[in-house]
Amino acid sequence: MRPVALLLAGLFCIASLRRMALAAGISLTICAPILYAQADFQVESNLVVLHATVADHQGRVVRDLPVTTFHVYEDGAPQNIVLFQQEDTPVTVGLVVDNSGSMRRKVPEVVAAATAFARSSNPEDQMFIVNFNERVWLGLPPGEAFVSDPDKLKAALLQIRSSGETALYDAIASALGHVRESPLSKRVLIVLSDGGDNASTRRFPEILSLLQQSNVIVYTVGLFDEYDKDRNPAVLKQLAKVSGGQAFFPKEVPDVTNVLQAVSRDIRNQYTIGYVPTNGKQDGTYRDVRVDLTGAHANLWTVRTRTGYFAAPQDSAPTGSQKAKER
């Protein structure tokens, strides 16, 4: 290809990718030579976006790494990174709060921790609440799908009245449906529960499938009592792992505030990485994703991101008809 034609193809591809990113609410840094090399392919392909956290052995976030540190593999095949960014972008955060009887004495600390979290967030974040016991309901007042004001969030949390059983899986399905109504592309759920479930119509494998069809990061906070026979930390760990989040198990309920502050730092310091799969088939199959690190200190770091995705058209993701019905 002649230099002028190569330049025009590259500019056209950059413009196309920027339009895709803007439509999804993403501000991006372009790695132009890669785009030029595969311009025709990338204009017609779907961008896979990963949100990755890098931490050291003490769990401290590692910032300001160059794109050359990261290497992405899909089903074992190396992928070219075409989007790379680290900045505090607005995020939609859903608080999925256990309202069952076992949570009664923990509610004041949960309210205080969630309020502190909201006050430390980006002022453009959008937040919502999904409450659950044996039923599931949205916690914000009617007509307010999302709020950015920490005081409004606190007022809604103060309405919690703990009683009944636990429909955790139905609550997560409902939250995954509701978060898709936000225009922001970065989406997070924070699940505060003991991980037990004795009232859902959904089952755990179905929830994992819904989560893998989304690009939602899940952080779980296990709040256990010694006498709690329904607690299930394995469920909370699995939800976090497949989505690229993290599971926390504070020893004391007051520690929840510190846990949610750690979640806030995690969200604020993630790397956004995008690639166009070398396997361009949108055949609905599940693709394993792995991110490796290289560099002088890479052996001292770990990276977390979602473990894979379903290669299906965007409009085949979970829709309103697939949401857990509020009962």
Domain co-membership, 204 together with 279: no
End-of-domain residue from the set 201, 217, 247:
247
Segment 242-261, tens digit of pLDDT: 999 999 999 898 999 999 99
Domain co-membership, 80 together with 99: no
Q: For residue 301, tell me if it sits in a domain.
A: yes
Query: Measured between alpha carbons, how far is 323 from 282 in angstroms, rounded to an integer?
Result: 23
Is the pLDDT confidence value at 179 over 80?
A: yes
Domain boundaries, position 303? 3-86+269-312
Domain co-membership, 22 together with 137: no
Residue 194 has what pLDDT?
83
Task: Give the total number of structural domains in the chain.
Answer: 2
Domain co-membership, 33 together with 100: no
Residue 230: partners with Cβ closer than 8 Å, 6 or more residues away? 102, 166, 194, 196, 197, 198
Is the pLDDT confidence value at 292 over 90?
A: yes
Domain co-membership, 237 together with 124: yes
Of 4-13, 53-62, 279-288, the least confident: 4-13
Q: For residue 326, tell me if it sits in a domain.
A: no
Q: For residue 167, tell me if it sits in a domain.
A: yes
For residue 4, name the pLDDT band (cuts at 50, 70, 90): very low
Is residue 133 within 8 A of residue 179, CB to CB? The reply is: no
In sequence order, which ranges of 120-160 are alpha helices (DSSP H)? 150-157
Residue 224 has what pLDDT?
85
Domain co-membership, 116 together with 216: yes
Domain co-membership, 236 together with 274: no
Segment 86-118, tens digit of pLDDT: 999 999 999 999 999 888 889 999 999 999 999
Q: For residue 320, tell me if it sits in a domain.
A: no
Domain co-membership, 278 together with 139: no
Q: Which residue would you say has higher pLDDT here, 277 or 317?
A: 277
Of 39-53, 203-217, 218-232, the least confident: 39-53
Q: For residue 253, tell me if it sits in a domain.
A: no
Q: For residue 259, tell me if it sits in a domain.
A: no
End-of-domain residue from the set 214, 247, 280:
247
Domain co-membership, 161 together with 237: yes
- DSSP designation for 61: B
Query: Measured between alpha carbons, how far is 230 from 169 in angstroms, rounded to an integer?
Result: 14
Domain co-membership, 67 together with 195: no
Segment 114-167, tens digit of pLDDT: 999 999 999 999 999 999 999 999 999 999 999 999 999 999 999 998 999 999
H/E run at residue 137 = strand 136-138
Q: Where are the beta strands (DSSP E) in 154-251?
A: 187-193, 216-222, 247-248
Is residue 86 within 8 A of residue 64, CB to CB? The reply is: yes
Using DSSP's 3-state secondary structure scheme, residue 305 falls into coil
Q: What is the mean pLDDT of residues 302-319?
A: 77
Q: Measured at the alpha carbon of residue 250, what is the angle toward residues 305 and 134, in degrees to the nearest 5?
A: 85
Q: For residue 273, tell me if it sits in a domain.
A: yes
User: What global pTM score does this model have?
Assistant: 0.83
End-of-domain residue from the set 247, 279, 298:
247
Domain co-membership, 9 together with 153: no
For residue 313, name the pLDDT band (cuts at 50, 70, 90): low
CATH of the domain at 240: 3.40.50.410
Domain co-membership, 71 together with 123: no
Q: For residue 324, tell me if it sits in a domain.
A: no
Q: Which residue would you say has higher pLDDT here, 140 or 9?
A: 140
Residue 44 has what pLDDT?
42
Residue 37 has what pLDDT?
32
For residue 52, name the pLDDT band (cuts at 50, 70, 90): very high
